[in-house]
Amino acid sequence: MNLPAARGPITAALFGRLTGPPGGEPLAVHEVDDEDLHLALFVCYELHYQGFDEVDERWEWEPSLLRTRAELERRFESALRELVPRPPAVPPAGGTARAGRAGGGRRRPAAVDVPAA
Protein backbone atom coordinates (compact mmCIF):
# COMPACT_ATOMS: atom_id res chain seq x y z
CA MET A 1 0.00 0.00 0.00
CA ASN A 2 1.24 3.50 -0.79
CA LEU A 3 1.20 6.46 1.56
CA PRO A 4 -1.92 8.60 1.05
CA ALA A 5 -1.75 12.23 -0.03
CA ALA A 6 -0.86 14.59 2.81
CA ARG A 7 -3.75 16.64 4.25
CA GLY A 8 -1.77 19.36 6.00
CA PRO A 9 1.59 20.38 7.45
CA ILE A 10 1.86 17.49 9.93
CA THR A 11 1.22 14.73 7.40
CA ALA A 12 3.46 16.48 4.84
CA ALA A 13 6.34 16.55 7.35
CA LEU A 14 5.57 13.03 8.61
CA PHE A 15 5.44 11.49 5.14
CA GLY A 16 8.65 13.30 4.17
CA ARG A 17 10.34 11.83 7.20
CA LEU A 18 8.93 8.31 6.71
CA THR A 19 10.23 8.05 3.14
CA GLY A 20 13.77 8.59 4.41
CA PRO A 21 15.95 6.53 6.73
CA PRO A 22 14.65 5.94 10.29
CA GLY A 23 15.84 8.26 13.04
CA GLY A 24 15.95 11.90 13.96
CA GLU A 25 14.01 14.04 16.36
CA PRO A 26 10.24 13.85 16.96
CA LEU A 27 8.19 16.15 14.74
CA ALA A 28 7.12 19.45 16.28
CA VAL A 29 3.34 19.30 16.52
CA HIS A 30 1.83 22.77 16.52
CA GLU A 31 -1.60 23.71 15.24
CA VAL A 32 -3.17 20.81 13.43
CA ASP A 33 -6.61 20.35 11.90
CA ASP A 34 -8.73 17.22 12.31
CA GLU A 35 -8.03 15.62 8.93
CA ASP A 36 -4.29 16.17 9.25
CA LEU A 37 -4.24 14.81 12.81
CA HIS A 38 -6.33 11.72 12.09
CA LEU A 39 -4.46 10.84 8.91
CA ALA A 40 -1.14 11.16 10.75
CA LEU A 41 -2.41 8.85 13.50
CA PHE A 42 -3.75 6.37 10.94
CA VAL A 43 -0.36 6.20 9.22
CA CYS A 44 1.47 5.75 12.53
CA TYR A 45 -0.87 2.89 13.49
CA GLU A 46 -0.79 1.27 10.03
CA LEU A 47 2.97 0.81 10.35
CA HIS A 48 2.15 -1.88 12.95
CA TYR A 49 -0.08 -3.76 10.49
CA GLN A 50 0.88 -4.02 6.82
CA GLY A 51 2.90 -0.82 6.51
CA PHE A 52 3.55 1.19 3.34
CA ASP A 53 5.59 0.29 0.27
CA GLU A 54 7.80 3.36 0.44
CA VAL A 55 8.40 3.23 4.23
CA ASP A 56 11.26 1.28 5.80
CA GLU A 57 9.81 -1.27 8.24
CA ARG A 58 12.28 -0.13 10.93
CA TRP A 59 10.10 2.99 11.39
CA GLU A 60 7.52 0.84 13.20
CA TRP A 61 9.34 1.05 16.55
CA GLU A 62 11.50 4.13 15.92
CA PRO A 63 11.57 6.12 19.23
CA SER A 64 11.23 9.53 17.54
CA LEU A 65 8.12 8.36 15.67
CA LEU A 66 6.63 6.86 18.83
CA ARG A 67 7.13 10.19 20.63
CA THR A 68 5.49 12.02 17.71
CA ARG A 69 2.58 9.58 17.80
CA ALA A 70 2.20 10.04 21.56
CA GLU A 71 1.96 13.83 21.10
CA LEU A 72 -0.63 13.40 18.34
CA GLU A 73 -2.63 11.09 20.64
CA ARG A 74 -2.46 13.66 23.46
CA ARG A 75 -3.80 16.34 21.10
CA PHE A 76 -6.65 14.08 19.96
CA GLU A 77 -7.59 13.02 23.50
CA SER A 78 -7.50 16.61 24.74
CA ALA A 79 -9.81 17.76 21.94
CA LEU A 80 -12.13 14.84 22.65
CA ARG A 81 -12.31 15.74 26.36
CA GLU A 82 -13.30 19.30 25.41
CA LEU A 83 -16.10 18.06 23.15
CA VAL A 84 -17.47 15.31 25.38
CA PRO A 85 -17.94 16.30 29.03
CA ARG A 86 -17.03 13.73 31.62
CA PRO A 87 -20.09 12.25 33.37
CA PRO A 88 -20.42 12.72 37.14
CA ALA A 89 -18.96 10.02 39.35
CA VAL A 90 -21.35 7.27 40.40
CA PRO A 91 -21.05 6.16 44.03
CA PRO A 92 -20.58 2.42 44.53
CA ALA A 93 -23.66 0.37 45.41
CA GLY A 94 -24.01 -0.51 49.08
CA GLY A 95 -21.95 2.29 50.55
CA THR A 96 -18.18 2.32 50.54
CA ALA A 97 -16.24 0.22 48.12
CA ARG A 98 -13.87 -2.40 49.43
CA ALA A 99 -10.98 -3.94 47.64
CA GLY A 100 -11.00 -7.69 48.08
CA ARG A 101 -12.36 -9.54 51.09
CA ALA A 102 -12.30 -8.54 54.72
CA GLY A 103 -9.24 -9.91 56.45
CA GLY A 104 -6.77 -9.09 53.72
CA GLY A 105 -8.45 -11.12 51.03
CA ARG A 106 -7.47 -14.53 52.43
CA ARG A 107 -9.95 -17.28 53.10
CA ARG A 108 -9.73 -18.94 56.43
CA PRO A 109 -10.06 -22.68 56.48
CA ALA A 110 -13.47 -23.85 57.57
CA ALA A 111 -13.70 -25.63 60.89
CA VAL A 112 -14.14 -29.33 60.28
CA ASP A 113 -15.61 -31.74 62.79
CA VAL A 114 -13.56 -34.89 62.72
CA PRO A 115 -15.21 -37.87 64.39
CA ALA A 116 -13.16 -39.45 67.14
CA ALA A 117 -11.76 -42.84 66.24
Q: Which of 1, 54, 50, 49 is nearest to 14 (CA)?
A: 54
Question: What pLDDT is stored for residue 70 in this prediction?
Answer: 96
- pLDDT 10s digits, 29-69: 887 889 999 999 999 999 999 999 999 999 999 999 999 99
**Helical (H) or strand (E) element with 10:** helix 9-18
pLDDT at 97 over 80: no
pTM of the model: 0.71
Q: In the structure, what pLDDT confidence band is assigned to residue 103 with cuts at 50, 70 and 90?
A: low
The most confident of 11-20, 25-34, 83-92, 101-110, by mean pLDDT: 11-20
- Asked if 53 and 59 count as a contact pair (C-beta separation under 8 A), the reply is no
Q: Please spell the DSSP secondary structure of 26-73, one letter per residue.
A: PPP--S--HHHHHHHHHHHHHTTTT--TTS-GGGGG-HHHHHHHHHHH
Share of the chain above pLDDT 70, in %: 80
The domain limits of the chain are 9-83
